[in-house]
Structure 1
Amino acid sequence: MTTFGAKLSAIAPGRVEITAPIGPGVLQQHGFGHAGLTFALGDTAAGYAALSLMAEGAEVLTAEIKINLLAPARGQSLRAVGEVLKPGRRLVVVRATVLALDGDRETEIAALQGTMVPV
């Protein structure tokens, strides 16, 4: 996340937001933010959301996560909102929404859903 300039922007039990600029190093060939950035932010926000409901010292790993890309990542930055859908001892079902911020406009660009495994 350091490479992307990502920052935790909000933390609550079962919900985490991460923001990152769409810088020149993460653009794809058409000048939009790369899907790799979108996926990394969504996966990380969802993982931290799962972690927010666990005991101190716990960790999680992504078992599987699916992404639907809905629109190009156009703008100055991205905001990923991760949420826990169903916490569990062995599996935590999560989702994330990724939004592109372009001035005052927010556009939902991706929806992710997956499973985290406590380790």
Structure 2
Amino acid sequence: MATPTPPDPDYRARVRASFARQPFMTLLGASITALGPGTCEIMLPYRRELTQQHGFLHAGVVATLADNACGYAAFTLMPADSSVLTVEFKLNLMAPAEGEALIARGRVRKAGRTLTVVEAEVSARRDGAEPVVAVMLATIMGLHGRSDGPKEGRA
């Protein structure tokens, strides 16, 4: 598959600025570790506060990372005057999310004018290996001509 050309040459700065406006990502401790046309990688170090009763990273955390990796992979291919929202996703949990860090890697499968289909794999880094613990298929909507910042009246 050929590497797509982003319509916004400054997509990296736009994606990183949008990600930085997500207090939830800051709360979790997640960061973008790689970004390219149609791709996004997000990493989250293990934190006990993010686990469920068995000590695995919570499925909600896994889903959040995969959703963000999908959304921002899609966002790299949207015009500069766009915003991005998830329309739907399907998450398959394949193994317990345990290790030193989670890495979510999103990749656009098909970019459309309004809807983009994206897939993500979430891996758990442990002992030098990165087994896949979850996969996601998502549909992402591009809201063209709409600011990616907060709506008026919201913080």
Which residue number in structure 1 is paired with residue 140 of structure 2?
A: 116
Aligned to 1:106: 130
SS state at 2:133 partner: strand
Structure 2: distance between partners of 1:67 and 1:53? 23
Structure (1 or 2) with the greater strand fraction: 1
Question: How far 1:103 sits from its partner (Å)?
Answer: 2.5
Residues 40-79 of structure 1 mapped to structure 2, 5 A cutoff: 40-79=64-103
Note the C-alpha offset of 1:57: 3.2
CA displacement, residues 31-53 of structure 1 (integer Å, 9 cap, x when unaligned): 01111110000000000000000
Aligned to 2:43, what secondary structure does the other structure show? strand
The match for 1:83 is: 107
Once the two structures are TM-superposed, the CA of residue 59 in structure 1 deviates from its matched residue by 1.2
Query: 2:43 aligned to 15, 19, 24, which one?
Result: 19
| RMSD, aligned α-carbons | 0.7
Query: Which residue of 2 is the match for residue 96 of structure 1?
Result: 120
TM-score, length of structure 1 as denominator length: 0.97
Gaps of 5+ in 2: 1-24, 144-155
Given the two structures, how large is their TM-score scaled by the length of structure 2? Answer: 0.75
Percent identity at matched positions? Answer: 45
Q: Which digits, 9 at most, give the CA deviation of each residue in 1:72-107, with x for residues without a partner? A: 001011000001000001210111000000130111
Amino acid across the alignment from 1:62: T
Show structure 1 runs of 5+ residues with no match.
Answer: none
